[in-house]
Structure formats: structure tokens, C-alpha cells
């Protein structure tokens, strides 16, 4: 692999950076920033991290004219890092914005299955906590993606400085996918993230918690979402409700709601369902689908993912029906 060594930046402990391999396609429509790690179940280890999962779905669902997803993350010089890169290449993802770290190991999360679902245990000081800004800006070379996807988990360490440099360097709207599993997420990080979000995606529990933390709480979830929109200048809030569907509201107080659907009879797990939902939202935003359409499609795609184990299907056949459906002209759809 060719390397372009850049002096370390971003804080103590950051090592030399190498750029990954690029496909040469510069049309990065979606830039996805944050954690790339291995999800370690009791019987297997698979690539994961919300930005990776969303990028994988977009790579499988997109058409040529859509452009491509570009994942920005960091791995260690270790076997796990090579495993993650091989999986990315196998999915057709560009590795040109993946950085290498000689001091910190590639990320991993221990997945514990419990009665209420899954619990993720993620150690601190992993390679993706040390993403540096300079290589990302170099890869973009002044080009602006249509959307920048980011979350709160990736801001627990030095990577937040790179994210702020990235969002400060262009006018690309931000798609904030909240992750409040980490106790280390600070109030300042949360408020800064909300202030940079054109679209905010979260679940009902996260909406209640964020509304309480920011003083925008209300017994009515819709009113709480509207208060967040008004206070932080957010363009749209999307709230997922699991098998009870989802809803969204924009700055003009226009609500769109999906119908509730029961969990599939052959339910396997819900790992990555929220990431699947986000991917279809991002696809619909780029293609200009009406809100009601991308909301229904995102909900149905996430529900289908619950029928398999893990966050990303092993076979591309999983996507074929969705690719055909998503190509249908919008004017022909109810």
C-alpha cells in the first residue's frame, strides 16, 4: 500500500498517519465520520461502528449517479485493522480517508446479549479516538460532499477536534445520529453537535434525555422536538420508535408519521437497525424523495435488517429488492 506520511496532529499520543487506498472516484456524496471497529459477539467478530454500517448500506443501495460514501476513521497497525480494511474493500468502500495509528489499537466493542437487547462495551483510547483533521481535508481537496454524517460517540476523544475542523471548513449540512451510550459525552459536545445539525436523528428515549439536558423538555415529544429545532436551528428532527414506527418534523412544524409494524416473526436481532434507517434517510435526502416516502422506506429497510444477525448483510442479495424499489420514479408512488 502506498503511503503519504503526514506529521501528527490532533493531540498527544497521535502517531504518524498514512492515507488508505482510494478508488479514484472523487464524488463523495456522503462523508461519514467516526468509529470503525469490530463488534465482538460471543461466537464471531464482525466490522461495525455506526459510520461504517451506514456507509456499507449506502454503497450497496446507491446508483452510479448518486456518487459514493466516504468513511473517515482510523485503525491501528494490527491484524484487526487489516481485517476491517479488507471488509471495506469487499463492500466496495473507498479506504482513502482511513488513517493508520502506530500507538493505538484498532477499535472493538464487546457485545453482550441481554433480555432487553444488546449492551455495547467500548474501551477508551482506541485508534478511532485519534482521527486527525489534515488527512481528511487533503482527501477532500476542497470538494464538498452533500452531507456529513456524524455522531456523539466519536467525539469522546481527540477526534472531535478533527470533526470541528471538517465541519468548519465547508458549508455541508450535518446529519447528526445521536449515540448516548457513552457516559463521557459532555454537555458542551452535545450542544455543539446539535448546533451543527441540519438533520437530527434519535430515538424516543434519546429525545427525552436530550430535551432534559438542554432544557427543552416537554411531556409531548413533538413539542420537545420543535423546541430543539427552535433553539439550535435544526432543519428537521427524525424520531425512531422501533416496531411502533417513526416520525419526523421540520422547522415549519410539519409532521410526518409512519405506521406501526410488528417485529418480524423471524426476528434475529436489532443490532444496526438504527444505522440502516439512517442510511435510507440519507439516500432519500440526496435523491429528493418526499419526507413521507423516505421515512416509510427507512422504517421498512430497518425492519428487514432485524431478520438477519448483525448490522450489515453478508450477501448483496439482501439489497436487490430494495435497490429495484428505490429506483422507482417518485411520481408513480403513493
Q: How far apart are CA 226 and CA 45, in angstroms?
A: 40
For residue 7, pLDDT over 80 is answered with no
Residue 298 parent element (H or E): helix 291-305
Residue 61 lies in a domain: yes
User: For residue 330, is it within any domain?
Assistant: no
Q: Which three-class secondary structure state does DSSP give residue 119?
A: strand
Question: What pLDDT, on the 0 to 100 scale, is given for residue 271?
Answer: 85
Residue 308 in domain: yes
- For residue 323, being part of any structural domain is answered with no
Spatial separation of the C-alpha atoms in residues 38 and 324, rounded to whole Å = 31
Which pLDDT belongs to residue 6?
29
Non-local CB neighbours of 84 within 8 Å, separated by 6+ positions: 36, 37, 38, 47, 52, 75, 106
How many residues are listed for the chain in this entry?
Answer: 334
Q: Is the pLDDT of residue 189 over 60?
A: yes
pLDDT digits (tens, 9 = 90+) for 156-170: 999 999 999 999 987
Residue 186 resides in a domain:
yes
What CATH number did the domain enclosing 98 receive? 3.40.1190.20
| pLDDT tens figures, 239-252 | 999 889 999 999 99
The count of structural domains within the chain is 1
Residue 121 in this model has a pLDDT that exceeds 90: no
Query: For residue 111, what pLDDT is reported?
Result: 81
Q: Say how many Å lie between the first and final Cα of the chain, rounded.
A: 49
185 vs 28, residue with greater confidence: 28
Residue 19: is its pLDDT beyond 60?
A: no
Q: Which of 123, 69, 85, 128 is nearest to 103 (CA)?
A: 128
Residue 41 lies in a domain: yes
Q: What is the pLDDT of residues 66-90, one digit of tens each?
A: 999 999 999 999 999 999 999 999 9
Average pLDDT score, the chain: 88
Sign of the dihedral defined by the CA atoms of residues 155, 58, 282, 296, in that order: negative
The region that residue 86 occupies, defined by phi over 0 for left and psi between -120 and 50 for alpha, beta otherwise, is alpha
**Residue 22, domain member (yes or no):** no
What pLDDT band is residue 312 in, cutting at 50, 70 and 90? very high
Domain holding 52, by residue range, is 28-313
Q: What is the C-alpha separation between 190 and 38, in angstroms, rounded?
A: 25
Q: Tell me, yes or no, whether 11 lies in a domain.
A: no
Amino acid at each position: 500500500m502506498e503511503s503519504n506520511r503526514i506529521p501528527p496532529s490532533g493531540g498527544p499520543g497521535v502517531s504518524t498517519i498514512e492515507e488508505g487506498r482510494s478508488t479514484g472516484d472523487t464524488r463523495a456524496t456522503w462523508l461519514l465520520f467516526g468509529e470503525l471497529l469490530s463488534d465482538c459477539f460471543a461466537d464471531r467478530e464482525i466490522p461495525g461502528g455506526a459510520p461504517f454500517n451506514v456507509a456499507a448500506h449506502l454503497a450497496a443501495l446507491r446508483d452510479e449517479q448518486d456518487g459514493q460514501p466516504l468513511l473517515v476513521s482510523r485503525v491501528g497497525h494490527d491484524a484487526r485493522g487489516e481485517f476491517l480494511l479488507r471488509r471495506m474493500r469487499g463492500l466496495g468502500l473507498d479506504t482513502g480517508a482511513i488513517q493508520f495509528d502506530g500507538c493505538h489499537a484498532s477499535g472493538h466493542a464487546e457485545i453482550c446479549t441481554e433480555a432487553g437487547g444488546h449492551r455495547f462495551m467500548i474501551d477508551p483510547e482506541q485508534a478511532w479516538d485519534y482521527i486527525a483533521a489534515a488527512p481528511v481535508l487533503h482527501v477532500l481537496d476542497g470538494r464538498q460532499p452533500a452531507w456529513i454524517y456524524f455522531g456523539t460517540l466519536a467525539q469522546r476523544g481527540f477526534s472531535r477536534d478533527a470533526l470541528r475542523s471538517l465541519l468548519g471548513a465547508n458549508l455541508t449540512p450535518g446529519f447528526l445520529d445521536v449515540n448516548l451510550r457513552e457516559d463521557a459525552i459532555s454537555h458542551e459536545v452535545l450542544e455543539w453537535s446539535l448546533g451543527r445539525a441540519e438533520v437530527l436523528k434519535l430515538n424516543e428515549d434519546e429525545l427525552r434525555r436530550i430535551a432534559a439536558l438542554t432544557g427543552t423538555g416537554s411531556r409531548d415529544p413533538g413539542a420537545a422536538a420543535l423546541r430543539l429545532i427552535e433553539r439550535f436551528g435544526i432543519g428537521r428532527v427524525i424520531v425512531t420508535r422501533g416496531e411502533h414506527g417513526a416520525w419526523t418534523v421540520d422547522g415549519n412544524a410539519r409532521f410526518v408519521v409512519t405506521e406501526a409494524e410488528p417485529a418480524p416473526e423471524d426476528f434475529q436481532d436489532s443490532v444496526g437497525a438504527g444505522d440502516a434507517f439512517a442510511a435510507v434517510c440519507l439516500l432519500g435526502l440526496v435523491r429528493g424523495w418526499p419526507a413521507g416516502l423516505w421515512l416509510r422506506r427507512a422504517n421498512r429497510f430497518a425492519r428487514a435488517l432485524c431478520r438477519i444477525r448483525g448490522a450489515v448483510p453478508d450477501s448483496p442479495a439482501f439489497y436487490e429488492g430494495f435497490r429495484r424499489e428505490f429506483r422507482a420514479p417518485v411520481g408513480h408512488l403513493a
